[in-house]
A and B are shown apart, each in its own frame.
Chain A
Amino acid sequence: MRFARTLLLAAAFVSVAGLARAAGPEIGAAAPDFTLQTIDGKTLSLAEAAKTHKAVVVMFIATKCPYSNAYNDRMRDMAAAYGGKGVLFVGINSNKTEPLAEVIAHAKEHGHTFPIAKDPDNKVADLYGAGHTPEVYVVTPDGKLRYHGRIDENYEDASKVASPDLKNALDDLLANRTVARAETKAFGCTIKRV
């Protein structure tokens, strides 16, 4: 079984040439720890945050990507709604083309009061194998990755979302259920790496 999975992974790797980044953690595996400086000067440690919250949502975001920007309000609203339930939302900007000042202005403009950090040299994006924005990872207090993928399937119209995948994942976790759909995909803007 393990051999079959290794073969599958190898096939997936071989099939995508030009993919410079390594694959990220699998669902159920340990989420790579990281420590970053947030835009308000605080230190954010994933391991520490995970221990003190029911879940941490790590979101790779951007200031200029239309796909990421389409979710600005949803990020703000979900961070507020789930913050009251013990879930911490964290924004990470790994784009080399989007400087700190721009990230700060963007957060202010969109009412993003959850912790946001620049990811110098896209090291955290590399650890997770994050490819685009927005792309989210959910980590539980045991440090394990429980969800990876999109916020939902409809970036164009929040009122017509049919598959609220991140919300469903968080609801499953808060109810002590296994996440029913732990991996999803959507189009997004490629993270501009160094």
Chain B
Amino acid sequence: MGEPLVNETGGRIIDAGTHLLDRQISDKDGELVGKVDDLELTFPEGGAPGASPPFVSAILAGPGALGPRLGGGVGRVVSGTHAILHPSTRPGPARIAFGVVTKVAANVELAVSRDELDVVRVENWVREHIISKIPGAQHAPQ
């Protein structure tokens, strides 16, 4: 396959859709966090197209990111379910700042624990407020 392509300053070159999107994310202990459903692109100092190019500032994960990406009826169902289940009145996608990413390879590795991330907070909220209230939910499997 040869060596990965780099630019003149030694910066590794990848294609975002092919090499980042839909990759699994793991936390500092190797626990699964979710997957890369979208990326947040930010213009440095509010730059405009053609001037300073945007950079990848965060990973967006969870149904709040996946719904708009899918679009159409399926996307609306995913986004709507996320809005209903999310504790916030105006829920956005779960955001993982790129500053806590340590490695982008076959999966994306983070330097933090999954419990510190928004994407898991929603999961925990649903478990505490909905799943735990279902009759029989408190009983561990025999």
Q: Do A and B come from one complex?
A: no
Interface residues, chain A, CB within 8 Å of chain B? none
